[in-house]
Amino acid sequence: MKLKKLSRSIALVSILSISCSLFGGCSLKNGSSQKQSFNNDAKYKVGICQFVKHPALDRATKGFKDYLTKKLGDDVTFDEQNAQGDAAVCTSITTTFTSNKYDLILANATPALQAASASTNKIPILGTSVTDYATALGIDSSKWSGNTGKNISGTSDLAPLSDQADCVKELFPKAKTVGILYCSSEANSAYQAKEFKKYIEKYGYVTKDYLFNDSNDVASVAKTACDNSDILYIPTDNTAASCAEAINNVALPAKTPIFCGEEGICKGCGVATLSIDYYDLGVQTGKLAYKVLKEKKNPKTLKIEYATKLTKEYNEENCKKLGIKIPKDYKKIKK
């Protein structure tokens, strides 16, 4: 009797596995998570690879889907996958998208873009929440012309780093040392750190980079940074965003304020930010997708687009706990 039950269980698992391999929207990809059912009868099939779950990337994905759904209705369907912060899973996801011959791939964040680029040079790829495409794709910055020259285009979440430095000077004029905290494996974070230094050091601040590898050492590195810095700066770093609570648990007791590169990180561990709206960035990316899918535009010719709306924002709770007074032109981040 037990043998029969075991046989039936094995048969059921086999059927489910076969079903998942046949339909792009059902997936058991090495730790990735799938969001919704997939319509194989839709005219346009779009694979979405999001590197990690956190508010900024979630909003970009939502804006992208909302715009395309509004424009294309039932003609578009999405295979939405989340790599849960694992670059290797991004590769697995985008390879599957390529095998399924989807019409377009959305790569949300730099590791997803790099994986998609390695997976196909034919299927159109759009990036979003990517800071610098030349850095992400290994393109010589001296030859950068605004487009990739590949099957890739997209939108950048880079807020003007010179303006962010101005904000730091405005909020912390008496500070002397700035610790820059980011993940060692994120190329775009390193790019932002390098560029931010150029602007903030002009004001006389002394800077030092503090790099963590992943969630396992973020708290210890953050503590070292807090112990040796008057304030911290965190760029638009995906791993830092997913570890914001752990960083906050270190920085608040240390009385070290953090200026952040975007709203989501600031909401979790910062005091202020000069941020873009990631939902709007997703909509902007959706407009590019419509051009590619409906108007048959070649991503190779589409220039990378940048967010146009920037907002000064602050984390009211953290500011109160640290006794920081915020100028009136800053907007309170909603909890």
pLDDT band at 32 (very low <50, low <70, confident <90, very high): low
Assess contact for 20 and 27: CB atoms under 8 A.
yes
Q: With 80 as the cut, is the pLDDT of residue 131 above it?
A: yes
Beta strands 206-212 and 272-275: pairing type? unpaired
pLDDT over threshold 70, residue 18: no
Domain at 161-275+311-332: CATH code = 3.40.50.2300
Sheet of 331-332, strand order: 206-212, 177-183, 231-234, 258-260, 272-275, 311-314, 331-332
Give the separation between CA 177 and CA 223, rounded to whole angstroms: 15
Q: What is the pLDDT of residues 225-279, one digit of tens each?
A: 999 999 999 999 989 999 999 999 999 999 999 999 999 999 999 999 999 999 9
Report pLDDT for 35: 56
**Confidence class for position 23, pLDDT limits 50, 70, 90:** very low
Per the model's pLDDT, the better-predicted residue between 19 and 151 turns out to be 151
Per-domain boundaries in the chain: 44-158+277-310, 161-275+311-332
Amino acid 9: pLDDT: 42
Flag whether pLDDT at 324 surpasses 70: yes
Would you say residue 155 has pLDDT above 70? Answer: yes
Given a cut of 50, is residue 177 above it in pLDDT? yes
Bigger pLDDT: 299 vs 35: 299
pLDDT at 34 over 60: no
Q: Is residue 204 pLDDT above 50, yes or no?
A: yes
Q: Across residues 143-153, what is the average pLDDT?
A: 94
Least confident of 23-37, 95-109, 276-290: 23-37
Confidence label for 141 from pLDDT (cuts 50, 70 and 90): confident
Q: Looking at the chain, how many residues does it have?
A: 335
**Which residue in the block uniquely carries the two structure tokens 């002397």?**
176
If phi over 0 gives left and psi between -120 and 50 gives alpha, with beta otherwise, what is residue 296?
left
pLDDT of 308 > 80? The answer is: yes
Smallest CA-to-CA distance from 69 within 56, 60, 78 is with 78
**pTM across the whole model:** 0.80
Q: 161-171 and 187-200 are packed helices; what angle lies between their axes, rounded to 10 degrees?
A: 60
**9 vs 306, more confident:** 306
Q: Is pLDDT at 100 greater than 50 in this prediction?
A: yes
- 44-158+277-310 has which CATH code? 3.40.50.2300
Q: Do domains 44-158+277-310 and 161-275+311-332 have the same CATH topology?
A: yes
The pLDDT assigned to 31 comes to 55
Average pLDDT value for residue range 205-213? 98
